[in-house]
């Protein structure tokens, strides 16, 4: 899943970007971040027939790593061994999350997959939170997931195909939970976007033995490479920077409430770009998951 939605955020982006963005309302920036994120995912879906979902995801990670390294030049920072290990583990969790999420959206509607994947951060909030809202959120989310999964298994998708998608998206949710925990450590250490750059490089290298053979297919095809670069920038680089701008202006609790918009945003993108129109039971499941996301933010400082 999309890196842009993790609660772990480092410091503000460059001042040049801040000046123009300060004139745009924070919620509008957040919606733009979500639209960019899932438009990138929609473009990726169109490439699955050429490369396969896991390979497209690996190229997203690789090219995003190249862009971030060229931008941030993380070698200028003084790194400790602990910082590098933390960033590396964070990057592996991030890469695994994205790979299995792309497998999921190859078998499930985009909005459904995004909603179910949110069980990862909701579970983290329920485990680490102290109030009844966090505990209740996991129950509400579970009801939404059961509804979404039931509709999926009874729908037009072949049963085996749907099961693959559901298993993959639950794996993505588990990876997202790990990504949040590790991401907080990276952000807490002050590495910020430099840590993200190092992490993405590590993730790309770790999974390279499985996908690097696609280099001979991708590199000579400049059109395909261009589409993969669009996916990388839209789904990894731009949303992350926009979230930085949003978090600089609002609190983490408000940001978490805004996260509840993401399943709806993904559903809109899936309907408009991919023709994945949700049924009424699916809409009900999406509302339940979005409500659970908002519940985990209520009362937080």
**Does the pLDDT value for residue 21 go beyond 80?**
no
From the list 5, 42, 31, the residue with the least C-alpha distance to 234 is 42
Amino acid 228: pLDDT: 95
CA distance 269 to 20: 26
Amino acid 6: pLDDT: 40
CA distance 92 to 45: 22
210 vs 31, higher pLDDT: 210
Domain boundaries, the chain: 44-297
How large is the average pLDDT for residues 149-177?
A: 74
26 vs 88, higher pLDDT: 88
Amino acid 3: pLDDT: 44
**Does the pLDDT value for residue 262 go beyond 70?**
yes
Q: Name the average pLDDT for the chain.
A: 79
From the list 242, 228, 259, 262, the residue with the least C-alpha distance to 65 is 228
**Does the pLDDT value for residue 239 go beyond 80?**
yes
Per-residue pLDDT of 35-44, as tens digits, reads 898 899 999 9
Instruction: Count Cβ atoms within 10 A of the Cβ of residue 281 and give its class: 0-12 exposed, 13-18 middle, 19 or more buried.
Output: middle
Amino acid 240: pLDDT: 74
The answer to whether residues 64 and 232 touch, using CB atoms and an 8 Å cutoff, is yes
CA distance 224 to 56: 10
In this structure, what DSSP letter does residue 129 have?
-
Quickly count: other Cβ atoms within 10 Å of residue 223's Cβ.
Answer: 7
The answer to whether residues 104 and 172 touch, using CB atoms and an 8 Å cutoff, is yes
User: Which of 149-163, 168-182, 243-257, 287-301 ranks highest by mean pLDDT?
Assistant: 168-182
């Amino acid at each position: 899943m999309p890196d842009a939605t993790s609660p772990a955020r480092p410091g503000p982006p460059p001042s040049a970007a801040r000046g123009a963005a300060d004139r745009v309302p924070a919620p509008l920036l957040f919606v733009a971040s979500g639209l960019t994120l899932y438009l990138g995912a929609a473009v990726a879906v169109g490439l699955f027939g050429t490369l396969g979902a896991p390979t497209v995801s690996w190229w997203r990670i690789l090219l995003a790593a190249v862009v971030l390294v060229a931008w941030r030049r993380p070698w200028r920072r003084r790194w400790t061994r602990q910082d590098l290990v933390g960033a590396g583990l964070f990057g592996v969790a991030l890469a695994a999350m994205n790979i299995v999420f792309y497998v999921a959206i190859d078998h499930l509607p985009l909005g459904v997959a995004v909603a179910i994947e949110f069980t990862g951060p909701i579970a983290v909030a329920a485990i680490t939170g102290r109030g009844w809202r966090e505990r209740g959120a996991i129950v509400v989310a579970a009801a939404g997931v059961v509804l979404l999964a039931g509709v999926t298994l009874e729908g037009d998708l072949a049963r085996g195909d749907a099961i693959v998608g559901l298993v993959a998206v639950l794996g993505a949710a588990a990876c997202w939970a790990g990504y949040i925990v590790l991401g907080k450590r990276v952000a807490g250490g002050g590495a910020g976007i430099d840590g993200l750059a190092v992490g993405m490089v590590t993730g790309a290298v770790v999974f390279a033995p499985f996908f690097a053979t696609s280099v001979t297919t991708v590199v000579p095809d400049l059109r395909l490479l261009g589409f993969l670069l669009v996916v990388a920038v839209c789904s990894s680089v731009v949303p992350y920077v926009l979230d930085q701008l949003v978090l600089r202006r609002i609190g983490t609790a408000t940001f978490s409430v805004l996260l509840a918009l993401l399943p709806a945003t993904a559903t809109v993108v899936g309907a408009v770009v991919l023709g994945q129109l949700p049924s009424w039971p699916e809409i009900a499941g999406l509302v339940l998951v979005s409500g659970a996301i908002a519940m985990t933010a209520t009362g937080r400082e």
